[in-house]
Amino acid sequence: MSIELANESGVEVPADLIVSAARFAVTAMDVNPAAELSVLCVDEEVMADMHMQWMDLPGPTDVMSFPMDELVPGGRPDAAEPGPAILGDIVLCPEFAAQQAKSARRSFEYELSMLTIHGVLHLLGYDHAEPEEEKEMFGLQNRILEEFYAQRHRRAQEQRQSDRDTRLLTNIGFTENAVSEDD
């Protein structure tokens, strides 16, 4: 999975977290691992311009998605095996996301993760224009977000345990080469 992130927003963003959230969502949705995705962070002015140009709505928004390749489940019967695709572009507005996170009493990082997963789902054809679509998309988004943070939590616990083990072994003088001849 190739994920390119460019930050033109003027706001410092947790790039590793955004890329990890995108990668997790794409993997959770069983997209070909050779697919490509681009994430662009922009300021409110640029986002407002894009929002007007593409959605005919005034003011900035939190996230917009621009799919590239048409992803059709199963594809055509006479087509070759489905291969890698260029999923498209996700555009995030960190300034808007920060305000939204504060209003919702969530962390900025959590908000960006959620918006990234939301953007991936839009690239894959999910929408929330109708109540049933909204229920499906937000249910899926929340499940992926929960699994993403559960995995991050498990990895952090494993890393802390590994660090403790290393410190303990170092403190008692154990090294890989310190094996007694009596052993």
pLDDT at 135 exceeding the cut of 90: yes
- What CATH number did the domain enclosing 48 receive? 3.40.390.30
- Asked whether residue 178 is domain-assigned, the answer is no
Rounded mean pLDDT, 164-171: 82
pLDDT digits (tens, 9 = 90+) for 27-40: 999 998 888 999 99
- Asked whether residue 181 is domain-assigned, the answer is no
Q: Is 59 helix (H, G, I), strand (E, B) or coil?
A: coil
Rounded mean pLDDT, 145-155: 94
Q: How many domains does the chain have?
A: 1
- Asked whether residue 176 is domain-assigned, the answer is no
pLDDT digits (tens, 9 = 90+) for 84-119: 678 999 999 999 999 999 999 999 999 999 999 999
Query: How many other C-beta atoms lie within 10 A of the C-beta of residue 164?
Result: 10
pLDDT at 70 exceeding the cut of 60: no
Q: Is 28 helix (H, G, I), strand (E, B) or coil?
A: helix
- Asked whether residue 179 is domain-assigned, the answer is no
Rounded mean pLDDT, 55-77: 77
Quick one: pLDDT at residue 75? Answer: 42
Q: How many helices (H) and strands (E) does the chain have?
A: 5, 4
In terms of residues, how long is the chain?
Answer: 183
Lowest mean pLDDT among 49-63, 83-97, 139-153: 83-97
DSSP letter for each residue of 94-129:
HHHHHHHHHHHT--HHHHHHHHHHHHHHHHTT---S
